[in-house]
Amino acid sequence: MRITIITVLMFTLIGCSQSLKGIKKDESVELQPEVGYLLIGLDTTLDLHTINITGTNRFKFTKEDLRAGTNFILIDIPAGNYKISEIKFNRYSRLELVEGYWDFQVAPKKINYIGTLQVEGSSWFGWLNHVNVLLNNESTQAFKFIHENFPNLLNAYRITFGGPGEDHFFEYLQSTEQQLGGL
């Protein structure tokens, strides 16, 4: 009996996701050696309930950061490989995402832009009618957001693309910046 209770408690704790809140202030804080910043864009026509992330650690974005409209979310998390695994639209509707396209990585001591999650849908009295979900690379808008809202952080850490596929826009931008002596 005691072993059963301990086992259930252990699996409950392992399966829990940590809720995260986006960083709002531009404060350049020294990151631990194995921690990086995650930057994700969000462009949605719906208020979302949660976005679950699995991988090196498990965590979720909650309603506070997932309002309808366009914005970016910046958080610091342990470096590693991750996946956007599930989007919950409300208490009853959710979308589990397949492997591959939703994978990303967070490099230590960098700002890692992984893409902009675009969620377009409609609902009727809380019932989801249809939904389209894409993860698009909008590096220009991500750089503009960081440059305007977190200049101290951008001065302290390099920005890189950590989403699916390859993109060398940030490396090109930073090499041009060095040649021109700043942007």
Least confident range of 10-19, 49-58, 105-114, 147-156:
10-19
**Residues 36, 110: Cα–Cα separation, whole Å:** 5
* Closest alpha carbon to 83 in 150, 18, 1, 163: 163
Token pair belonging to 141: 């808008």
In the chain, the percentage of residues whose pLDDT exceeds 90 is 56
What is the torsion angle, in degrees rounded to the nearest 10, for the CA atoms of residue 41, residue 46, residue 47 and residue 48? Answer: -70
The model's pTM is 0.84
State the average pLDDT for the chain: 85
Give the separation between CA 71 and CA 165, rounded to whole angstroms: 22
What is the pLDDT averaged over residues 150-169? Answer: 93
pLDDT at position 16 is 63
Kindly report the CA angle at 60 between 22 and 121, in degrees rounded to 5?
90
